[in-house]
Every structure is written in C-alpha cells, then in structure tokens.
Amino acid sequence: MALAAAAERVAAEFEYSAQDVQRGVKEFIRQMDEGLGKQGATMSQIPTYVTAVPNGTEKGLYMAVDLGGTNFRVCSIQLHGNSTFSLTQSKVKIPQELMVAKTSKELFSFLAKQIETFLKTHHNEHYVNHVERRRRGSYIGASFHDEEVFHLGFTFSFPVQQSGINKGTLIRWTKGFDIKDTIGKDVCALLQKEIDLLHLPVKVAALVNDTVGTLMARSYTSPGKTGTLLGAIFGTGTNGAYVEKLDRVTKLKKGGSKAAGDVDDSTGEMIINTEWGSFDNQLSVLPSTSYDKSLDAESNNPGIQMFEKRVSGMFLGEILRRAIVDLIKDPSVPLFSDEHSNQNDIHSTTNIHDQSALWNQWGLDTSFLSIASGDTSAGLKVTRQTLDNDYGVSAASAEDAEAVRLIASAIGKRAARLSAVAIAAVILSTGKLSHPTDIATTNDAKLEVNEDEIVDVGVDGSLVEFYPNFEEFIREALRDVPEIGVRGERRVRIGIAKDGSGVGAALIALVADRAG
C-alpha cells in the first residue's frame, strides 16, 4: 500500500465525530452524577471541603508547601488584592532515605525544618518576633495571636481520604515513597506536630489537590469578577476540579456526619475534584483503536485511567509510537524504508537505528507530537531532523515525515476533542449556559457576549500549552455540542492558570481561614 494511503487509514482510526462528542458528553454527565451520589463510582468526584473560589480581591501573606515527588517546595505568597501576587520560593530534593524511612517523623520533621529555614531566610523579622514572644511567654499557640500565624496550604500529591479542609489520611504512598507508618494517618496533623515542635508561627490550614489549586489560581488571576468554574490539567496526566452545588453532593449527606466530615455550608457550594482520568473505564463510549488497546494491556494498570490514556501527555507519544511501529512492520508499507537493502529483517531494511527509542515502550515523547503537528518547514525538515537526532531514524524522506505528521495530528486532535467532552460536561451539568440562545444564528449581534455571560475555565499542563491549536480543537468540539453551539462556545473563556501548588494552595489556605 502506498505510504500516504496507509497513513490516512491509520489517521482515520482516530477520528472522533460530532456524534461521538455528543455521546461522550451525555455519558460524562451521567458518570459525574453517579460519582456525586456514591462512593466507589468510576469517576470519584471527591469533595474537597473547599467552598469558595477567589475573585482577585483577596489580600494577605500566605504560605504553601508542595510534596509531589522528588522535591519539596516551600513558598510564601503575597496576594496584592488586584489579581496579582508575588511569590518567593525554595526547593529541596527529598533525601532518598527519608522516602523509605521507618517512621513518618523522620520525613515530616525534615519538612518542618525546611519551613523553618525558609522563614529564617525570607521572613526573618516575622520569625524572630514570633520566637521572642514565645520566649516571653506571651504567645500561647496558633489560635492566640492568629494574625501572626502564617496559614499554609499543603499540596500533597498522593492518594488521601479527605475528611475536612485540613484533614486527610494517607491511603497509600506512590512515586517511590514507602513509609508504612504513615498509612492511615492524617498527613496535616503529622506536619503540624513537627511545626509545633519547632515553635513555628505556621498553621496547616488546608490539604490541597493540585487540580483544585489550578482552579483557585485561575479564579484569582482571571480577568473579570465572575469566579472560575473549572480548573483542568492536561499535562503528564489529566484531571479537573469544578464548583458544584453542595446539595448535589448527595454522598456527603448519605454517609451521615462521619462521611460529611467538617462541611462548611455557608456558600452552598463545594469544589469537587472529579478525578476524570478514570472516566469511562468500562469503555462504553471512549474510542478504542488497536493502539489504545495494546497500550493499555501492556501498561502497569490495565483497565484503569482509560480517559487519561487517550488524552494526556504521558500516553499520546506511546500511542503514536505504536502506530508507527505497526506501519514499519507492515512489509507492504514503505515507511522509513531503506532502498539500498534487500534483507527481510525489519531492523536492517529500515533507516532506524537498532538502539532507536522507537523500539521501546514509552520511547516516544509527546512533545514530538507538537513538533510534527506544528511543523511548517519546507519538506518537514524539522520533523525529519528530530527523527534523526532524537529517534535514530536517519534519512527519513519528506513522505515519511508527512505520514508521521498526519497520524500525530490525528492523535492530538482526538485528545483535544476528548478534553472538550469533559469541559462541555462540566459546563452543561452545572447549568452555566442556562439561558438557551439561538445556537443556529449567524447574526453577529446575537453572537456578541457580555462579560457577565462568560464561563471561565483555567487550564494548565504542557499539552494544552504547547500542542499547536489544542484550544481551537477543543472549541470546535464544543460547537459540535448542540446545547452549547456557536454562541455557547463564545461564552467559554479558556485561560492558562499557572502555579496551582503555589498561589492556588495559598488561596485555599485563605478561604479555609475565612470559613474557619
């Protein structure tokens, strides 16, 4: 088969039609509702106990720490009250031995020490004053001189069972951490205890999920006074957090006061962490090519995170790699073929180096999709150079590069359209477009959108930031949903939200402080 035709055939497998989008949205809304009603649903819909989003007028000095993997980050954030902030931060690598320590104390006392060092370095006056007061005996704990205490948001990116805004027990460690003693314990209390032992003027005010942080950061920095509805991450993984009506979170009531934990019902709203990476794990509506199936089967968590496996940066490169390798192995398709060789062995009849990362699982980085899809150089020179320099494919032809570009673009576009399914479902299920508009209109006056009609969405992650036209593909798919249509799509403002675990976490500490 001619190369171009073969590439078109593969690209067509990734088409995700308007009807597919509509079916996807309907099912997404159904699974969102299910998750609000019961524990253990496909989409977890985790109540975060955060009950308000900021509007940009918030002021004050807050702290944030982030334990996410290899590093521990400590920041202080000055909120200026005009949608801007200044951030001071330090970062330290977690010593390997502490990640697998015998007791929680070893790790958490290390974390508290980093907070102390940070305060001495960046807020010495405050630190000295506080310690002086303590020595004179005029200061008796965090609740006494509350205005002197830094409220801190703790971003802890491991699975926790949260039961209050600053309460959550560790379910299990991931990412190389393994301290048995911590399982089942409240990580905020563990950190607070070590902070108190050092007499630091710091209160762990909120346990923060990074997606919720993204929502808060966007809501503070976004133009206009209407709060942000949704924060969404399209990076290594994908997830979203949105503002829900508290009485729709029926599982909080069903479980009685114990499951409800400490709910502040003053705003009538609560931010829900959807954990939408696991949307449709049962594959009732998600598309599934042979490449999706083999990727999943050979992953370390088959059958899990099925939405994420079609959408996020960790997986898109691997989908493309599998599609490319399939074509290379098809003797009738001349992809990367070496005209000067007559041998039958695949590795010697192609221009691909034996050691090429293309032969290895996870060997192709998703950034390559951005390079290929966005390549406007003559003869796709940039793509060919990248294939040569990074992937051991020497002398790829312009036709080779075009075939790869076509498939890469199809995979990226499908990811964006699936992302739109999630965004559309949140917008529709929360009734944010509740005033139906004439969607068929092409009348410009009717298409004009007022500031108070804007539905604000904050996004973060390399995929949405760097993949060419990712937002435009999302918008196209939003227009494909009849309940949104052309005008509804115009009402959606999508903006990058940076630094959820810094300013976002600080803002959660702030709202926790106010609610408390």
Query: Taking the complex as a whole, how short is the minimal distance between the CB of residue 462 and ligand ADP, in angstroms?
Result: 3
Give me the 219-238 binding string for ligand ADP, x by CB under 6 A, dash otherwise: ----------------xx--
User: Per CB under 6 A, which of residues 453..492 are in contact with ligand ADP?
Assistant: 461-463, 466-467
d(CA 308, CA 295): 12
Nearer to ligand ADP, 48 or 370 (CB): 370
Query: Taking the complex as a whole, how short is the minimal distance between the CB of residue 234 and ligand ADP, in angstroms?
Result: 8
Q: Does 158 bind ligand ADP (CB under 6 A)?
A: no
Only segment of 13-21, 367-375, 417-425, 444-452 that touches ligand ADP (CB under 6 A): 367-375
Query: Taking the complex as a whole, how short is the minimal distance between the CB of residue 129 and ligand ADP, in angstroms?
Result: 36
Q: Does 366 bind ligand ADP (CB under 6 A)?
A: yes
Q: Is the dihedral of CA 380, 381, 382, 385 positive or negative?
A: positive
Among 129, 294, 337, 367, binds ligand ADP (CB under 6 A): 367
d(CA 189, CA 99): 18
Do 48 and 273 meet the contact criterion of CB atoms below 8 Å apart?
Answer: yes
Q: Does 370 bind ligand ADP (CB under 6 A)?
A: yes
Residues binding ligand ADP: what is the number (CB under 6 A)?
A: 14
Only segment of 9-17, 83-91, 153-161, 364-372 that touches ligand ADP (CB under 6 A): 364-372
Asked if 491 is an active-site residue, the reply is: no
Query: Taking the complex as a whole, how short is the minimal distance between the CB of residue 187 and ligand ADP, in angstroms?
Result: 20
Q: Does 365 bind ligand ADP (CB under 6 A)?
A: yes
Query: Taking the complex as a whole, how short is the minimal distance between the CB of residue 233 and ligand ADP, in angstroms?
Result: 6
d(CA 503, CA 68): 16
The residue from 172, 257, 262, 330 that is catalytic is: 172
Nearer to ligand ADP, 153 or 235 (CB): 235
Q: Does 52 bind ligand ADP (CB under 6 A)?
A: no
Nearer to ligand ADP, 24 or 461 (CB): 461
Nearer to ligand ADP, 119 or 319 (CB): 319
Q: Does 208 bind ligand ADP (CB under 6 A)?
A: no
Output the CA–CA distances (angstroms, integers) from residue 392 to 54, 74, 288, 347, 379, in the order listed: 49, 41, 29, 12, 19
3-class secondary structure, 135: helix
CA dihedral angle for residue 491, residue 495, residue 501, residue 506, rounded to 10 degrees: -60
Asked if 210 is an active-site residue, the reply is: yes
The residue from 66, 210, 292, 375 that is catalytic is: 210
Beta-carbon neighbour count of residue 175 at 10 Å?
11
Query: Taking the complex as a whole, how short is the minimal distance between the CB of residue 433 and ligand ADP, in angstroms?
Result: 28
Give me the 313-352 binding string for ligand ADP, x by CB under 6 A, dash otherwise: xx--------------------------------------
SS3 sequence, 7-55?
A: HHHHHHCCCCCHHHHHHHHHHHHHHHHHHHHCCCCCCCCEECCCCCCCC
Do 194 and 109 meet the contact criterion of CB atoms below 8 Å apart?
Answer: yes
The DSSP call for residue 503 is: I
Nearer to ligand ADP, 236 or 267 (CB): 236
d(CA 416, CA 96): 37
Nearer to ligand ADP, 44 or 367 (CB): 367
Token readout for 271 is: 């931010």
In angstroms, the first-to-last Cα distance of the chain is 68
Query: Taking the complex as a whole, how short is the minimal distance between the CB of residue 412 and ligand ADP, in angstroms?
Result: 8
Q: For residue 258, give every residue at least 6 positions away whose Cβ sits within 8 Å of its Cβ, in sequence order, or none.
A: none
Nearer to ligand ADP, 52 or 241 (CB): 241
Q: Is 236 exposed, middle or buried (0-12, 13-18, 19+ CB in 10 A)?
A: middle
Total number of residues shown for the chain = 516
Do 439 and 486 meet the contact criterion of CB atoms below 8 Å apart?
Answer: yes
Residue nearest to ligand ADP (CB): 235
Only segment of 81-89, 158-166, 193-201, 363-371 that touches ligand ADP (CB under 6 A): 363-371
d(CA 111, CA 195): 9
Nearer to ligand ADP, 203 or 417 (CB): 417
Query: Taking the complex as a whole, how short is the minimal distance between the CB of residue 318 and ligand ADP, in angstroms?
Result: 10
Closest CA to 313 of 377, 362, 256, 376: 362
- Interface contacts to ligand ADP, rule CB under 6 A: 235-236, 313-314, 365-367, 369-370, 461-463, 466-467
Write out the catalytic residue numbers.
157, 172, 210
